[in-house]
Amino acid sequence: MTTLRLGDTAPDFEQDSSAGKIRFHDYLGNSWGVLFSHPADFTPVCTTELGYTAILAGEFAKRNVKVLALSVDDAKSHKEWIKDINDTQSTTVNYPILADSDRRVSDLYDMIHPNASTTATVRSVFIIDPAKKVRLTLTYPASTGRNFNEILRVIDSLQLTDSHSVATPVNWEDGDDVIISPAIKDEAVLKAKFPKGYKVVRPYLRITPQPNK
């Protein structure tokens, strides 16, 4: 089994889900994607995560992101679980949950970690860009709920840095200052690209206001 690395093409698959058959690359289309896994249906931490993801539907939509969850139980079980999620989390789950009872997707994405569990998926997260490249991977222990505000923050950073010659510093949030790429040396290019100006802390560390704000 090959572990997915940043920059790898996200494997395509066709799998049943709570919303019918899903062919992954077709489902994403020209959107960004977040694929995240759950060890089983009717588990408490996952119930809170799936509910909060549904609450964030508008935030994902404005970033052109499609969400896809996965659990190793079947589609019928997923549909029953969604009723509980909607009821307990005061929301409406509006994205599919993959039914991975054959572990096909779990194996493709290396979500089964035998030293943690030989049957249940770990809490994996994959952020995938419109070119179907893996841009972020995160793995959480079973006892720790994921921070979906952090996932949105990373998407903001990736989308910003893909379109501008900048990087985002520690604890950056959308709207904060950013760091100019050290590769840009020419003064005329700097002035053209960053008309708001910039502060030189060190020759390799130059701070500028976020370009798209």
Q: Across 92-96, 103-107, 182-186, which has the greatest mean pLDDT?
A: 92-96
pLDDT at 110: 85
Could you give the CA distance from residue 145 to residue 167 in angstroms, rounded to a whole number? 27
Question: SS3 of 75, please?
Answer: helix
- Amino acid in the structure at residue 190: L
Integer CA distances (angstroms), 46 to 34, 109, 177, 180, 193, in order: 15, 19, 34, 38, 43
pLDDT per residue as tens digits for the range 127-173? 999 999 999 999 888 789 999 999 999 999 999 999 999 999 999 99
Integer CA distances (angstroms), 88 to 93, 182, 191, in order: 12, 49, 53
- Tokens of residue 184, six digits: 């840009």
- Amino acid in the structure at residue 174: D
Cβ atoms 211, 164 nearer than 8 A: yes
CATH class of 14-147: alpha beta
Give every strand in the sheet of 166-167, ordered side by side.
166-167, 178-180, 205-208, 199-202
Could you give the CA distance from residue 74 to residue 115 in angstroms, rounded to a whole number? 24
Structure pTM? 0.93
What are the boundaries of each domain within the chain? 14-147, 164-208
Of the candidates 15, 189, 185, 38, the one whose C-alpha atom is nearest the C-alpha of residue 125 is: 38
Could you give the CA distance from residue 6 to residue 74 in angstroms, rounded to a whole number? 30
What does DSSP assign to residue 6? T
Please tell me which residue in 10, 28, 35, 46 is annotated as part of the active site.
Answer: 46
pLDDT at 38: 84
**Mean pLDDT on 112-120:** 58
Contacts of 107 (CB under 8 A, 6+ apart): 1
Q: Has 46 been annotated as catalytic?
A: yes
First-to-final CA distance of the chain: 43
Give the residue carrying structure tokens 């222990």.
141
**Mean pLDDT on 108-128:** 74
